[in-house]
């Protein structure tokens, strides 16, 4: 699937440059996730955040403990492409 992350670079605090299977790329600022709470509260520890890796089975950014973000969300945020119609956005 074209949402798969094939490469990434941690730029500075909470910004990651991503490259996807379809060749598109972009930068995401994960600072917004610092206030989401829940499992994302672990992101407030930058040493934890830096442990990000690509899950080789699914091509998604993943953190220890299996924390990940939906690949279509990551793709949309990085490339500016709209989310698929079947995605329900929490308000």
Q: What is the pLDDT of residues 8-54, one digit of tens each?
A: 999 988 999 999 999 999 999 999 899 888 999 999 999 999 999 99
How high is the pLDDT of residue 82? 84
Q: Is residue 89's pLDDT more than 70?
A: no
- Please enumerate in sequence order all residues whose Cβ is within 8 A of that of 65, keeping only pairs 6 or more positions apart, or say none: 39, 42
Cα–Cα distance for residue pair 37/11, rounded to 1 Å: 23
Q: Is residue 87's pLDDT more than 80?
A: no
Confidence of residue 2 (pLDDT cuts 50, 70, 90): confident
The CATH number of the domain covering residues in 5-79:
3.30.2020.10
**What is the residue extent of each domain of the chain?**
5-79
Q: Is residue 90's pLDDT more than 60?
A: no
Q: What is the pTM of this model?
A: 0.86
């Amino acid at each position: 699937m074209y949402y798969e992350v094939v490469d990434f670079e941690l730029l500075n605090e909470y910004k990651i440059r991503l490259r996807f299977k379809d060749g598109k790329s972009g930068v995401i600022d994960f600072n917004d996730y610092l206030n989401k709470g829940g499992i994302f509260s672990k992101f407030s520890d930058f040493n934890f955040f830096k442990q990000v890796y690509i899950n080789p089975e699914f091509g998604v950014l993943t953190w220890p403990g299996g924390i990940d973000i939906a690949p279509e969300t990551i793709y949309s945020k990085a490339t500016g492409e709209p989310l698929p119609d079947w995605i329900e956005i929490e308000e």
